[in-house]
Structure 1
């Protein structure tokens, strides 16, 4: 039995999309690196062969008092993000915030609803053809004033890179 033309075309397109997705998944490391050299570098993507790591330490821009907790990556996601996780004590938070604002231009923390945060995602690049980093800082807390930050155990800091364009 033959399918009507619109159903046949839909089925063909669906099979073609699965086929192209499997080709992308089978890309060799050399092909991925070559593709990154052509476009990924310009887009601010991290190299496809980068390891999940302490990105601030790797950049030589890790401030004192910031503790590296670990790194997570999601290879199943289309954009293949990697996120380094840090903590800074409430007692050292003012210095940590000042450093991230001065070094990366991150906005000041604000208290909204249920905690302190720098707000929307913030991106930083050291120049053209360099990795674009997304930095974030915050903590869920009671509405303490800035001078009461030492009462907060720790603030969380994240630094994320993408290995594939959306």
Structure 2
């Protein structure tokens, strides 16, 4: 599912369709590690990558990861500091059930007055056993190798 459709389905506040990054103020250069540069991060969050998103209301997506056995600590941190929802088991993994965390920063306003960062956290509970060609579900979050945290800089 593409990112725009995801936000339309999960948030009734999305009104912009087909946003193009060509409207972003080229004089504003953002640092990729969005949490470290513009907010606060947790020591258990490992920065993985950052990517610019083209032809979307999402401008940048920073990806982090946290070990499963530390995921509850990071979940609590994101809930307390950014208002992210509780992680819930759904179908085949954990996610924040459409209740995203959010933060703003004066640098984001230079891009657009409606620019802010949205935070989500998730993990697949699927464990693939290649030797038996089976997929099992791991419900114990401590046994999941990594959870992913994304911070998306969006214009709403």
Question: TM class by shorter-chain length?
Answer: 0.5 to 0.7
Partner of 1:133: 117
- TM-score calculated relative to the size of structure 1: 0.61
When the two structures are aligned, how many residues end up with a matched partner? 119
Offset from partner CA, 1:18-73 (integer Å, 9 cap, x none): xxxxxx95x7xxxx64xxxxxxxxxxxxx862335010000240101100001011
Q: 1:117: how far off?
A: 0.2
- Partner residue of 2:42 out of 55, 58, 63: 63
Which of 112, 122, 131 is residue 100 of structure 2 equivalent to? 122
Task: Give ranges in structure 1 of 5+ residues lacking alignment.
Answer: 1-23, 34-46
CA contact (8 A) 2:47 2:63 kept: yes
Are the equivalent residues in 2 in contact too, given 1:52–1:84 (CA < 8 A)? no
Query: Between Structure 1 and Structure 2, which shows a larger proportion of helix residues?
Result: 1
Which one has the largest radius of gyration? 1
TM-score by length of 2: 0.65
Unaligned stretches of 5+ residues in structure 2? 1-20, 126-136
- The root-mean-square deviation of aligned C-alpha atoms, in Å, is 2.8
Structure 1 residue ranges (4+ consecutive) displaced by more than 6 angstroms after TM superposition: none
Partner residue of 1:73?
52
